[in-house]
Amino acid sequence: MPHRHLIAANWKMNGLKDHIPVARAIAEGSRDFHARVALFPPATLLPRLADALAGTQVILGGQDCHHADSGPFTGDISAAMLKDAGASMILLGHSERRHGHLEPCALVAKKAVAALKAGLEPIICIGETLDQRQQGLTRQVLTRQLTDSLPDDLNGARFHVSYEPVWAIGTGLIATDAQILEAFALIREFLNRRFRIQHEPQLLYGGSVNGSNAATLLALEGVSGALVGGASLKAETFLPIIAAAHTAPV
Ligand code: 13P
């Protein structure tokens, strides 16, 4: 098991340069806590945050990338560009990409290969919709997403998986302990079967995590991190989650 929780802020499409002090406050406020803290700002802020957070422990990451190294892809950003801008991690396969941009698992897998090639540590996101859960398809959907979104290139590499039930994102509705434990057991079993693990992947939960539910969540067996949307946009709401990770056993 990893020694420290990974508490990741997904700022999504939020944040102008006046948000830089928030990142500084997060870096400052989390300094004495026993957690790995990562910020995934919009790509436009990456170089500025790389400067603003230089010398701190905060990890920076991109929210998505194109699968090619470079070329005629107007509006897209390569993994190498994100790395060049200061990222060392990357989110891939977030449900807002899978559903909002109709990204299939095979494309997520190609992006993961590109991320590894550029030296970025991928966090690959999976999760079922409410319809799928209500139809009893959760295990099937998660297994298919894992099988088709995680390329063989991850063998022996550093990567992580985030379980984010689509119905729990931005709804205030967190999955139950039993639902999380079942999904994490499935993910752990899949990873151990499919990959030669050299660096223990951190398994994150995402979906309506906040300062009130983080301690219970992070104490669940096998949960080694959280991917936080709304509550990560302000230091006052994000720091309590980092503080909860400090006391929770990993
Ligand atoms: P919320 O924390 O706003 O539910 O978002 C979760 C998420 O999508 C993190 O990637």
For the chain, the structural domain boundaries read: 6-247
Specify whether 67 is catalytic: no
Q: Is the pLDDT of residue 2 over 80?
A: no
Q: What is the pLDDT of residue 202?
A: 96
In the chain, the percentage of residues whose pLDDT exceeds 70 is: 99
HSE at residue 117, side-chain half, CA atoms within 13 A, is 17
DSSP code of residue 203: E
Residue nearest to atom 1 of ligand 1 (CA): 229
* pLDDT tens for each residue of 54-64: 999 999 999 99
Q: How far apart are CA 161 and CA 145, in angstroms?
A: 11
**How confident is the model at residue 249, as a pLDDT?**
74
pTM exceeds 0.95 for this model: yes
User: Per-residue pLDDT tens for 30-70?
Assistant: 999 989 999 999 999 999 999 999 999 999 999 999 999 99
C-alpha 152 – ligand 1 centre gap (Å) = 28
Give the distance (Å) from ligand 1 centre to CA of residue 107.
Answer: 22
> What is the pLDDT confidence band of residue 248, given thresholds at 50, 70 and 90?
confident
Q: What is the DSSP letter of 75?
A: T
Strands 89-92, 121-126: parallel, antiparallel or unpaired by DSSP?
A: parallel
- The band of 1, judged by pLDDT with boundaries at 50, 70 and 90, is low
What letter represents residue 145's amino acid? Q
For residues 2 and 250, what is the distance between their CA atoms, to the nearest angstrom?
7
At residue 161, what are phi and psi to the nearest 5 degrees?
-130, 135
Q: What is the pLDDT of residues 66-94, one digit of tens each?
A: 999 999 999 999 999 999 999 999 999 99
> What is the atom index within ligand 1 of the atom nearest the CA of 232?
2
Question: Which atom of ligand 1 lies closest to the CA of 210?
Answer: 2
Work out the burial of residue 61: count CB atoms within 10 Å of its CB; fewer than 13 is exposed, 13-18 middle, 19 or more buried: buried
Pocket of ligand 1 (CB under 6 A): 10, 94, 164, 169-170, 206-209, 227-231
- Per residue in 129-178, pLDDT (tens digit) is 999 999 999 999 999 999 999 999 999 999 999 999 999 999 999 999 99
Q: Are 174 and 207 in contact (CB under 8 A)?
A: yes
- The ligand 1 atom nearest the CA atom of 207: 4
6-247: what CATH class? Answer: alpha beta
**Which amino acid residue places its CA nearest to atom 7 of ligand 1?**
229
Kindly give the distance from the C-alpha atom of residue 229 to the centroid of ligand 1, in angstroms, as a whole number: 3
Candidates 5, 19, 94, 160; catalytic one = 94
DSSP code string of 114-153: HHHHHT-EEEEEE---HHHHHTT-HHHHHHHHHHHHS-GG
Ramachandran sector of residue 169 (left: φ over 0; alpha: ψ -120 to 50; beta: rest): beta
Reported as a single tens digit per residue, the pLDDT across 101-116 is: 999 999 999 999 999 9
